[in-house]
């Protein structure tokens, strides 16, 4: 019964928290609204998200987020240097295929988002069978190195976080 | 005093990265390259502005929860915006021959007809 009413309990908890933080004050009215949203949104979206993601080690996820935030700052400086100082005709952009070992949809989404946020790469498409990502690199003289770096730095960590 | 200086520095960094993003949009030539400059530069640009705002909130005795929420939503939505723009671009103007093979059994999702009912 509870399982049917709350198909994603963590999502419901998260929605309550986010709503209370958004209104930024603790009142009965906001709590009622938060409970309403936390019930209705998971129910309405559960058809598109049938299985619960399973985490192997949540602490590693925190470490992963810290790593990605650090990489985002570095990425910004790298891209800023390319934009400011590299002549436009010397920028070697490339399409790169990244074959995936991950199978969990949540893990693949997280990897695709990470790629977009970090060093000069953007996720552009996904193979129809879900086994490869198409990414675009702003400046990649050696596309294979970019692919190996993504697999070693991000995918490997995600493999250990998600089952 | 030191906090004021720090907040001011964050605001300058924020403006600088916003400017670089706009400049990149102007300078880069191919549409896919242009997607890189604004998506990235704005992350640190907006991030620094948020840190400055959070710092000010703490100084006057408020909790910076709303800044934290803006940061969370920024991280959730920025990759999606970039992905949608890239997909729209692929769909409208890029020839399939210009893309690498998937290396798997099927083609890129954007070039595959939707499954029949």
Closest Cα of chain A to B36: distance in Å?
Answer: 6
Q: Do B30 and A93 lie within an 8 Å CB cutoff? A: yes
Q: Which CATH class is domain A78-161?
A: alpha beta
Domain residues of chain B, as ranges? 2-90
Contacts of A112 in chain B (CB under 8 A): 79, 83
- Per DSSP, helices labelled H in chain B are 2-27, 31-59, 65-93
Beta pairing, strands A121-126 & A94-99: unpaired
B34 touches chain A (CB under 8 A): no
Domain residues of chain A, as ranges? 2-48, 78-161
| Chain A residues 84-143 with a CB less than 8 Å from chain B | 84, 88, 91, 93, 95-97, 99, 112-113, 116-117, 120, 122-129, 131-132, 134, 136, 138
Closest CA to A104 of A51, A141, A44, A150: A51
Q: Please list the pLDDT of chain A residue by residue as tens digits (163 residues).
A: 667 777 777 888 888 888 888 887 778 888 888 888 888 888 888 878 777 777 777 788 888 889 988 888 888 888 888 888 888 788 888 888 888 888 888 888 889 888 888 768 888 888 888 888 888 888 888 888 888 888 888 888 888 888 6
In whole angstroms, what separates CA B62 from the centre of its chain?
Answer: 28
Contacts of B106 in chain A (CB under 8 A): 127-129
Q: Do B106 and A99 lie within an 8 Å CB cutoff? A: no
Q: ipTM beyond 0.90?
A: no
Which pTM was predicted?
Answer: 0.83
**pLDDT band (50, 70, 90) for residue B10:** very high
Any bridge partners for residue A132, and if so which?
A99
């Amino acid at each position: 019964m509870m399982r049917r009413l709350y198909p994603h309990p963590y999502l419901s908890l998260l929605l309550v928290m986010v709503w209370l933080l958004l209104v930024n004050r603790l009142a009965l009215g906001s709590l009622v609204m938060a409970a309403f949203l936390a019930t209705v949104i998971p129910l309405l979206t559960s058809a598109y998200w049938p299985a619960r993601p399973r985490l192997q080690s949540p602490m590693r996820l925190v470490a992963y987020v810290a790593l990605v935030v650090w990489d985002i700052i570095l990425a910004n400086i790298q891209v800023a240097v390319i934009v400011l100082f590299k002549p436009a005709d010397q920028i070697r952009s490339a399409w790169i295929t990244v074959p995936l070992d991950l199978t969990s949809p949540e893990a693949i989404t997280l990897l695709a988002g990470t790629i977009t946020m970090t060093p000069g790469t953007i996720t552009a498409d996904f193979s129809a069978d879900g086994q490869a990502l198409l990414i675009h690199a702003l400046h990649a003289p050696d596309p294979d190195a970019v692919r190996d770096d993504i697999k070693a730095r991000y995918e490997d960590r995600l493999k250990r976080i998600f089952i | 005093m030191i906090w004021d200086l720090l907040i001011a520095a964050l605001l300058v960094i924020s403006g600088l990265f916003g400017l670089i993003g706009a400049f990149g949009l102007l300078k880069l030539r191919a549409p896919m390259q242009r997607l890189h400059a604004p998506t990235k530069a704005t992350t640190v640009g907006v991030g620094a502005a948020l840190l400055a705002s959070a710092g000010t909130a703490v100084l006057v005795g408020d909790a910076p929860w709303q800044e934290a929420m803006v940061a969370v939503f920024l991280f959730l939505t920025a990759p999606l915006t970039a992905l949608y723009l890239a997909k729209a671009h692929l769909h409208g103007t890029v020839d399939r021959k210009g893309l690498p093979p998937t290396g798997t059994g099927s083609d890129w999702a954007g070039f595959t007809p939707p499954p029949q009912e």
